[in-house]
Amino acid sequence: MDRNIVLAYLWQEVINLGFSPSGNRDQKSWVHQYAKSLRNFWEIDEYSSNPKGESGVLKGRVDSPVNLSFDFVISAKDKFSVQFLSTPIRERGNGLMWNHDVDGNIFNFPVQPFLTLHNQGNIVLRSNLLQESDIEVIVDGLLCHTRAHQHIVLPIDDHEIRIGGGIDNAFLFLFHLRYQLCPIPEKREKEKQRLVQLFLNAIKNKNNIPINTLMAQPVVS
Amino acid sequence: MKRNRFGINLDEGISLQTEWEFENLYVSYHDDTYRKLILWLKEQSEPLQFGGQIGSGKSSVILKSFKDSDVAPDIILHFDQEGLNLSSGDFLQIILTGFCEFALNNDVDLSSYSLPQEVADLSRDDWEGFLGKLSSDDFSLDAYKKKLEISRQLADNAEYYKKVIKSIGDTIQKTIDHPLLIFASGIDKYDTECAAYFSLQRIIATLLPYKTLFEVNAVHLFHTSKELSPIEKLFLPSMTVEKTEEIINKRMGIYAAAVKNELAVLSKWSGGNPRQAIRLLTYFETARKNRTNNFLDCILFAVRSTTRDFFAFSSKPSFEIMRYVNQNEKIDATEFILPGDKDTARRALYGNWFFITGTTQDTRWPVKTNPLVRGAFDEKIKPEEPEAKALRIYAEQSDVSSTGLSFPRTSDNGEKESGEKLKDFLSRNIEHPLPSNLSEVLDTMAAALLSKNRPDRVIIAFKDSSVVEAARAYLFAKANSYEYQRCSHALIAGGENMSPLQDFLEHLQEDTDIYSIQFGDSWTKDQLQSFDKLRDHLTQYQMIWWIEHDKLTEYLQEWTQLRQLFEVFILDDELLGSLSIEELEGDLEFFKDLVDDETGPEANVVRNLKVVLEYLQTVKGGENG
């Protein structure tokens, strides 16, 4: 089978496993545990303030000591906004850097319908076609080094921070920020390895990934 | 304490302990003093007084010297942790416990002594039982009474027991192959003016025949009793600001580069005192969370809050001595021993109103006013003072102004601004610190309150006792946002015929995560002073202390040591001002969905939020009605 077709199914499967909490309760739990995980992952002094959920809309604010903060508002998995701020706010100018807006009502290439139509998912996911290197490519493309990205000039190793401009899944976008805004190279490397193993094992064993497992910390020796 | 390997490591300036901490957070300074300490540990056998000012890093230096020299003390005596009423009996008890423990662990023959029988009504050779009585952790009333009884008996026969201690010490000395090394820690917590220090001096003189390292405050080096004065002295002056900058850079880990310029300014306000530097950094980090702040605001917040913690409501030294220090930057050692001097030089030195910045061959010591309190004494802040200059240059370079504060300008800039507002800003924090609303208190406490990894302590002064329960419930709710934390509250009363220290220590026996303590009734001066010595004992506990605002001055004036490890807040009366009913309802709705188990953190959040909500609804209802 064409490698790209295999990767396409794996791509969607990784998104389904990690970044598609369904229902209000799961989504609340996802953002709650996400906010909780940042403190240890970034090795900072304190937790982010707890996200809020009102009338099905999830809101949160995250401050990062790389002088970049963001607020998120999620109405649906594919309808959300993340507002980036330079912090602390400079005297002149309001500190807003840019807004990452996603509106699922606007047409985009319908990936999932095409894959469903092609009907190769079961073959890919259960066969020995599954390779660790494929999952690594997926994790890179989704989280660690997305195809389209913006670099941010920061005093700490500016080139390593790549904000994916094309991500249209709210939870995937937040999770990639967890990775990207961590300036610790050792942590990033181990996290990538952890995620590859996590998704590989889940797909191989047909397991779900509990939210707290997704949000766990990599072990840096 | 759990440390971040690459990231940020903040605390309230507690001493470093572990190998990792010394490798990654320690900054070496005053190498000559350090070399002398190592040399003393390795080669000498006479006692030594090692002194420095509060927060100067004495304990970390001592612990590091033990590691580096590979010489560990045989006996460690904690004079700040194990006493119940700071009497000579307590001090004798501490020494006896240390000596007997060492003797038993090292098979030293104690058969010629009958202390178990004499002191504790045990059989003559029941040394284990004897030690159990002396150092019991049992907080039952019986155990407490027994300890008091032993303490009284030792005090009543102090001369006899000093001889016993000497004899046991000599017996130990004969059976080991090196000079008996004793580390007498915690003497630095005793103000030279307090009665307990006089008793303590007489008792610790029993340690003079041995190689004893006395950990003292700088003020003790100048003001010692006849017995202690011949002992060799080694002084640890304050650091250079460059060294404190290095310290706070290390504390920020990989994130230091993002705030490099700001750390340089903060270090100028540390006055070369590492604990002050770390406290400034901690508050700076807190202020960064407020998105309406620019960096200059953050620096000013750090200065204001650190001043409040260390100096608000404290008893000030005289204007004359501070002006003298400011103008001359030298002080003669005789200033510290003049009779009737207690309100001036000694108080100023003990309370860190100025720092000794180096050593001297004659009697004139180099000193510098603590930048945080300069405004309280200077008629005008001088433009060339390093901390004021650093702020001004930073503001100019960053193109920011802040809170209507004017900075002193040099005359060649042609300027109108005199720095008066900066002076007011600095002095105001000592006399009338600004109150904080509950959200601001939470913002500052959040790093520690929300996590078990970092136990910090805060004092919250309240004016209206009716808000305390709701405020407490709010903080307890927030404490459970991410981790399950048990919170326990107790009211501890002081006054004649009360034993608040005993009650307090008993409360600490509870198996809980956050200890909330409300100070009730009128405490005596002695009771307050006894708490001041507990400073290092409390570093392992997450605590919130509630004190009536009217009593705060009285308490803080006796807590020069204790306040070093506390953040101090004055709580606004009005909870509605900072908490909105809508926001609480939103939080409640969010957490209700997450409750799986009635004993989990989310259930704890929900329970406590309901208390707060009920309070606010009642108050609001009252207002409307």
In which band, very low, low, confident or very high, does the pLDDT at B397 lie, cut at 50, 70 and 90?
Answer: confident
Å from A67 to nearest chain B CA? 7
Which of A45, A85, A90, A91 is best to mutate for the B interface (most B CBs within 10 A)? A45
Provide the whole-model pTM: 0.92
Q: Using the beta-carbon criterion (under 8 Å), do B400 and A88 form an inter-chain contact?
A: no
Q: What pLDDT does residue A68 have?
A: 87
Residue type, B531: F
Asked whether the predicted pLDDT for residue B341 surpasses 60, the reply is no
Q: B582 to chain A: which residues are within 8 Å by CB?
A: none
State how far the Cα of B321 lies from the Cα of B327, in Å rounded to an integer.
10
Residue range B552-581, pLDDT digits in tens: 888 988 898 888 889 999 888 777 778 888
Tell whether A43 is covered by a domain.
Answer: yes
- Contacts B260 to A, Cβ<8 Å: 155
Q: Give domain status of residue A93, yes or no.
A: no
Is residue A123 a part of any domain in this protein? yes
Tell me the C-alpha to C-alpha distance, in Å, between residue B370 and each of A6, B130, B189, B223, B341. 68, 48, 20, 22, 20
Question: In the prediction, which pLDDT does A122 show?
Answer: 84
**Phi/psi of residue A33, each to 5°?**
-70, -30
Contact B215, B536 (CB under 8 A): no
Question: DSSP characters for B558-574?
Answer: T-TTGGGG-EEEEB-S-
Give the residue from chain B lying closest to A40, CA to CA. Answer: B4
Q: Which residues of B touch A220 (CB under 8 A)?
A: 5
| Contact: A154, B593; criterion CB under 8 Å | no
| pLDDT surpasses 70 at B349 | yes
B25 contacts B33 by C-beta, under 8 angstroms: no
In whole angstroms, how far apart are CA A15 and each of A22, B5, B156, B463? 12, 31, 77, 54
Specify the pLDDT at position B80: 80
Contact B594 A25 (CB under 8 A): yes
Task: Name all contacts of B596-603 with Cβ < 8 Å and 24+ positions apart.
Answer: B600/B484, B601/B480, B601/B481, B601/B482, B601/B483, B601/B484, B601/B485, B602/B480
Residue ranges in chain A whose pLDDT is less than 70: 89-94, 158
DSSP A122-189: HHHHHSTT--HHHHHHHHIIIIIS-SSEEE---TTTGGG-EEETT---HHHHHHHHHHHT---HHHHH
- Taking the Cβ of residue A217 and every Cβ of chain B, the question of whether any pair is shorter than 8 Å is answered with no
Angle at A181 between CA A180 and CA A183, to 5 degrees: 95
pLDDT for residue B624: 47
Across the interface, whether the CB atoms of A65 and B594 are under 8 A apart is answered: no
pLDDT at B430: 81
Task: Please tell me if residue A65 touches chain B, with a CB cutoff of 8 Å.
Answer: yes
B378 pLDDT exceeds 90? no
How many CB atoms are located within 10 Å of the residue B1 CB?
Answer: 13
Q: How far is CA B464 from CA B432, B461, B567, in A?
A: 18, 9, 20
| Confidence at residue B625, expressed as pLDDT on a 0 to 100 scale | 40
Partners of B5 on chain A (C-beta within 8 Å) are 43, 220
Question: Looking at CA atoms only, how far is residue B8 from chain A in angstroms?
Answer: 5
- Least confident stretch, B291-305, B374-388, B504-518: B374-388
pLDDT at position B411 over 70:
no
φ/ψ of residue B294, rounded to 5: -95, 175
**Among the partner residues B258, B589, B590, nearest to A155 by beta-carbon distance:** B258
Q: Is residue A184 part of a domain?
A: yes
- The per-residue pLDDT for B419 is 66
Q: Which residue of B has its CA nearest to A58?
A: B590
Terminal Cα-to-Cα distance of chain A (whole angstroms): 39
Q: Cβ distance B556 to B548 under 8 Å? A: no
- Inside any domain, residue A196: yes
Calpha distance B466→B615 (Å, rounded): 10
Domain count within chain A: 1
Question: Min CA distance, A10 vs chain B (Å)?
Answer: 31
Q: How far is Cα B437 from Cα B456, in angstroms, rounded to an integer? A: 19
Helix (H, G, I), strand (E, B) or coil at B356: strand
Going by pLDDT thresholds of 50, 70 and 90, the confidence category of residue B620 is confident
B451 to chain A: which residues are within 8 Å by CB?
39, 46-47
Q: Does the distance separating the beta carbons of B255 and A184 come in below 8 Å?
A: no
Contact call for residues B422 and B392 (beta carbons, < 8 A)? no
Q: Is A183 on the interface with B (CB under 8 A)?
A: yes
- How high is the pLDDT of residue B338? 64
More confident residue, B95 or B144: B95
Q: Which CATH architecture group holds B438-624?
A: 3-Layer(aba) Sandwich (3.40)
Query: Would A73 be classed as within a structural domain?
Result: no
Say if residues A78 and A62 touch (Cβ distance below 8 Å): no
Nearest CA in chain B to A91: B400
Q: Do B587 and A50 touch (CB under 8 A)?
A: yes
Q: Which of B4, B289, B292 sits opposite A63 (nearest CB)?
A: B289
* Separation between Cα atoms, residue A81 and residue A167, nearest integer Å: 11
Closest Cβ opposite residue A43 in set B6, B298, B590: B6
- ipTM > 0.90? yes
List, for residues B17-65, the tens digit of each pLDDT value: 999 999 999 999 999 999 999 999 999 999 999 999 999 999 999 999 9
Is the Cβ pair B7, A42 closer than 8 Å? yes
- Of the residues B5, B20, B289, B298, the best mutation for testing chain A's interface (the one with the most A CB atoms within 10 Å of its CB) is B289
Residue B218, pLDDT > 80, answer: yes
Q: Which residue of A has its CA nearest to B480?
A: A50
Question: What domain range includes position A23?
Answer: 3-47+116-214
Sheet holding A52-54, edge to edge: A52-54, A57-64, A68-76, A79-86, A96-103
Q: How many CB atoms lie within 10 A of CB B34?
A: 17
| Chain A from 37 to 56: CB within 8 A of any B CB | 39, 42-47, 49-54
pLDDT at residue B408 tops 80: no
Residues of chain B in contact with residue A88, where contact means CB-CB under 8 angstroms, are 287-288, 290-291, 293-295, 297-298
- How high is the mean pLDDT of chain B? 87
| Mean of pLDDT values over B67-89 | 85
Is A187's Cβ below 8 Å from some Cβ in B? yes
Of the residues B11, B252, B254, the best mutation for testing chain A's interface (the one with the most A CB atoms within 10 Å of its CB) is B254
Residue A201 near residue A210 (C-beta atoms within 8 A): no
Please indicate, yes or no, if residue A59 is contained in any of the structural domains. no
- Contact call for residues B577 and B467 (beta carbons, < 8 A): no
State the SS3 of B211-234.
EEEEEEEHHHHHCCCCCCCCCEEE
Strand-strand pairing, B457-462 and B567-570: parallel
Residue indicated by tokens 């990062």: A64
Portions of chain B given CATH number 3.40.50.300: 438-624
Mean pLDDT, range B171-181, rounded to an integer: 93
The single-letter DSSP state of residue B25 is T
- Domain assignment of residue A12, yes or no: yes
Structural contact between residues A72 and A87, judged by C-beta atoms closer than 8 angstroms: no
Nearest CA in chain B to A96: B291
